[in-house]
Amino acid sequence: MWYSLLDLEILGSGETLAQVVVNDESLWFSGHFPDNPILPGIAQLNMVADIIALSRQESLYIKRLNRVKFKKIVRPGEQLTIHATATSTTGLYTFHITHETQAVCSGIMSLADKQPLPQCL
């Protein structure tokens, strides 16, 4: 896995809190950017979806994103806190990622169950 999960807490009422570290050797950094590695926004969103899916013990995919803001560059080896809260709408989560006390990313994410691929005859 391209990041390490240090801690995962399910706080009740649809809240999840996780601590992760972005591994220095992650392939995300190899081309983004040489000599100045940063974690792409899509990778940050993927981490949030992974953490929510893990907390629910389900296979989920990102269906829709709203009001996503990227506020801080993420470098290799940084420890991040991911906080996600389920809203009253099924599959909808507000989330934010922080590094120490700085906001990294926030937004609203709609997740749906992954459907198995149809069998070919």
Kindly list the catalytic residues. 32
**Residue 15 CB contacts under 8 Å (≥ 6 apart), including other chains:** 83, 84, 85, 86
- The strand pairing partners of 60, in sequence order, are 113
Q: Are 43 and 35 in contact (CB under 8 A)?
A: no
